[in-house]
Structure 1
Amino acid sequence: MDIMVSLPLQAFIRDLRKGSSTSIRDCVQGLEDLGYWGVNVVDHILQSDTDAAEHHAEADWNWRFPEYASTMGYLAAITQRLRIGVRVLVVPYRKPIQVAHAFATIDSLSGGRAVVGVGPGYDVEEFRRLSVPRNKRGKLTDEYLDVMQALWAADGPIDFEGETIQFKGAQLQVGPVQRPGPPLWIGGNSQAALARAVRVGDAWTPMLYGYTFRSPGDGRHVLREELPDMMDWANKQRAAAGLPALECIPGSGVPWNITDRPAHPGRRPEEIQQFSAIGTVDEILEEYQLFYQAGCRRFSIRLAGADTDDFLRQADIFANQIMPFISK
């Protein structure tokens, strides 16, 4: 079972204050020792009231997001096997040629372990402060992804003529090890996100968690019962275009809190439509088994933890008491 774990941001902010990377190193190397498939960073550039509010009920809500490329390079250097990903990069925030080169470099230095999760973004204030037109984020995302994929796959200089970007004779200094490029996971819960995944993605990675805080950037909430029909539609489109089947790799939202006492007594399976992010081993396992039955074969998760030892304790529980039994 392939599980990608989000970088433990609680550990990062503590290290940031101490000027150390010890907690992150220990957490990530511990994940590798436990047999996890990958680790991913999250992408935001500026602090936001929206982000704080979305995590207001969490003990470590005051998260900080490290710069994606330098962090991925560090993670690649301290691991041997883990896939190194971002989930998800806000594509419109940066010029695509530089982004393509950054990922190609990370993929090369890691021996072909990069995973590129992308999305158009949502945070109204972050778009405004970065002077990026939020109302054009879909078009920017589509064209920038076309540029990135074209540069990764190219064996020589290429030209590109789009509405938002044009260039002639461009070739990256360093190409990716994975050809025609690193796996592209398309984030977002909307039909537009799924259509984008159909067109250019290797996987669709929606967030299947019901945030209770509603921000101006919130999209729709996808339910478990919707997934089979959505993926059936997507793969009919893929087959008609001569493309391989699209994979659904859902994210579980906020960090899991593995408890000793039941968090959902009396809950019926049909009531489990999104991940709850809290529960006993049996309750969490039931959620993942139901999503597996809905067609999901890989997952992206976040784990809680008051410190490195607590994080790795929960990672050990998930790795040994949940992960091996999801497909049973």
Structure 2
Amino acid sequence: MPIGLALPQYGVLADPTLTARVAAEAEAIGYDRLWTADRILVPNEPRSRYPGGDGTIPAEFRTFLDPLTLLTVAAGATTRARLGTSTLNALWQPPALLARTLTTIDRLSGGRLDVGIGLGWSKDEYQAVGVPWEGKAARLEETLDVLEAFWAGGEDVRHTGALWTVPPSTVLSLPVQRPRPPVLLGGVSPAALERAGRRSDGWLGIGLPMPALHGIRDQLHRAAHAAGRDPLALRLILRANPVITATPAPAEQVPQRGTVGQIAEYFTTTIRQLGAEPLLDLHHAARSADEYLALAREFHDALGA
């Protein structure tokens, strides 16, 4: 089963000079997927609760690098690992421009891009980029429509919708992957899971208790079946941002906290029961690139990959 690693991107690891080194060494260790996330700012008086822990936005998010720029660097530093976003807040930019950028990264990487998209959780970030918080779901649906139109390409690319109009146009710069790069969608609401099952190639999730993950998998499969799609073709990618402890943490805290062995065992269980793809984000566990890579190797060994 493919194993993913987040590239250094925020907090003390928000140093773009680390990107090429960590990407290349992670690939050499054996990681099959390299991922970036998407943040803009930390408001001083947040209007939205962070969806994790006690709701406080992590201090590390005060320093954050652009996800697509880092994937561009990683594309040149690797040859095998797939490159993805978990998740990209795609609504923060016009979809026509986003299609061009994602197409370029897919071409640079020789067809190794996974486009993971989420809606985000911060009203303040939406305000900062001038995008309405209300109507996000409809905006995402139309964003996907525009992306697919540009990725199909040709001499008659067009789109007419509530938010964007693309006049009949010629677009000949196409992704390597056909008919498009894989699109993965996040979210845990019934509407988000229905959308993922209906029109995505997989679901981007977080480490949750196994009963919850089984329920989510079943909802995705029902939505895919209702849309006439193959439920078994959907990928499940589970991200964990663990705090590594020297002694075992209580079972209910895993995979948010625990030893390397505990978190590896959690992922081994999700692989065995759900066919899930692990995604390890070690920003809360490492303070330097050397420590990050050492932990990455330890996890890779523990997972038996």
Q: TM-score, normalised by structure 1?
A: 0.81
Q: Please provide the CA RMSD for this pair.
A: 2.2
**CA shift for structure 1 position 133:** 0.6
How far did 1:125 drift?
A: 0.8
Task: Verify the 8 A CA contact 1:188 1:207 in the aligned structure 2.
Answer: no
Q: 1:110-150 CA deviation, whole Å, 9 max, x = no partner? A: 10011100012220111122221101211111100111022
Inter-partner Cα distance in structure 2 for 1:236 and 1:182: 24
Bigger Cα displacement from structure 2, 302-311 vs 165-174: 165-174
Aligned partner letter, 1:133: P
Give, in angstroms, the shift of residue 63 of structure 1.
4.6
Deviation sequence 1:166-223 (CA, Å, 0-9, x none): 22213434110001111111011211211111122000112236xxxxxxxxxxxxx4
1:75 aligned partner, one-letter code: A
Alpha-carbon distance in structure 2 between the residues aligned to 1:295 and 1:139: 30
1:91 Cα deviation (Å)? 1.8
How far is the alpha carbon of 1:322 from its aligned partner?
A: 2.2
1:240, distance to aligned residue in structure 2 (A): 3.6
Aligned to 2:249: 263
State the partner residue of 1:212. Answer: none
Q: Secondary structure at the match of 2:134?
A: helix
Does residue 237 of structure 2 align to residue 249 of structure 1? yes
Q: Alignment length, in residue pairs?
A: 292
Unaligned segments of structure 2, at least 5 residues? none
Residue 198 of structure 1 corresponds to which residue in structure 2? Answer: 197
- Among all aligned residue pairs of Structure 1 and Structure 2, give the percentage whose two residues are the same amino acid: 29
Alignment of 1:37-186 (within 5 A): 37-49=32-44, 50=46, 53-56=56-59, 61-186=60-185
Q: How does 1:214-253 map to 2 (within 5 A)?
A: 223-245=209-231, 246-252=234-240
Partner of 1:320: 301
1-side partners of 2:87 and 2:280: how far apart?
13
Q: TM-score, normalised by structure 2?
A: 0.87
Letter in 2 for 1:302: D
Shift of residue 62 of structure 1?
4.7
Aligned pair in 2 of structure 1 residues 208, 172: CA closer, same or farther (>3 Å)? farther
Q: Which amino acid aligns with 2:26?
A: L
Separation (CA, whole Å) in 2 of partners of 1:174 and 1:125: 34
1:226–1:111 Cα change, 3 Å: same
